[in-house]
Amino acid sequence: MRIILLGAPGAGKGTQAQFLMNKFGIPQISTGDMLRAAIKAGTELGLAAKQVMDAGQLVSDDIIIGLVKERIAEPDCAKGFLLDGFPRTIPQAEAMDAHGIAIDHVIEFDVPDDVIVERMAGRRVHPASGRVYHVVYNPPKVEGKDNETGEELVIRADDTEDTVRKRLAIYHDQTKPLVDFYRTAADAGKTRYHHLDGTQKVDAIASQLTDLLA
């Protein structure tokens, strides 16, 4: 099963990707996590991406498309995958089509900007696994520690209110057009499109996903 998780920064893509990954046994491909891993490793890609990400801008389509193409070719993606944070521009979506990569489900998480700003202020992440927490809405069992490993949780460098607002503006400008792109694709029978109210509780969204992907 090949799934695209579509939604604004902080809409809950990474949170539900963890749930779906465990449920369906398919890998999460988070371009954001891949870029953050490159920054941590100090690679050339990481050095180039860091400034762009910290400013809340998008990394260039060519770089991102290359990353995803390589990742999708790995053996663990043969059964399917969850795309989290990709595509987020029309050229990125067109590149998928150009490479003949068909998508079974596109799931849109709809969350108003003000709710997102509040969510980001309380987000804590475990970089090695991609697990995501919130100090109030999805707290870890032990404060500041990852549930599985007990390792320290961190605050993402781009989660300041200023940068979140910039990322939201870019979302509305460059990524939101994908809603129409994939609705049109669904009307033509190329994929299935699902719109979800992303303001519901984490568990309620997970059970809705279970129903619609059954």
Per CB under 6 A, residues contacting ligand AP5 are 7, 9-15, 30-32, 35, 52-53, 56-59, 64, 85-86, 88, 92, 119, 122-123, 132-134, 137-138, 158, 167, 200-202, 205
Q: Compose the 63-102 pattern: x for residues touching Zn ion by CB under 5 A, - for all others.
A: ----------------------------------------
Site membership for Zn ion, residue 130 (CB under 5 A):
no
Rounded Cα–Cα distance for residues 212 and 157 (Å): 34
Least CB distance from residue 116 to Zn ion, whole Å? 12
List the one residue out of 55, 109, 102, 56 whose CA is nearest residue 80. Answer: 102
CA atoms within 13 A on the CB side of 129: 20
Q: Which is nearer to ligand AP5, 74 or 203 (CB)?
A: 203
Q: Compose the 8-47 pattern: x for residues touching Zn ion by CB under 5 A, - for all others.
A: ------x---------------------------------
Number of residues in the chain? 214
Strand order in the sheet with 105-110: 28-30, 81-84, 2-7, 105-110, 192-197
In this structure, the strands spanning 123-126 and 131-134 are: antiparallel
- For the annotated catalytic residues, the residue numbers are 13, 88, 123, 156, 167
Least CB distance from residue 176 to Zn ion, whole Å? 17
Burial of 18 (0-12, 13-18, 19+ CB in 10 A): middle
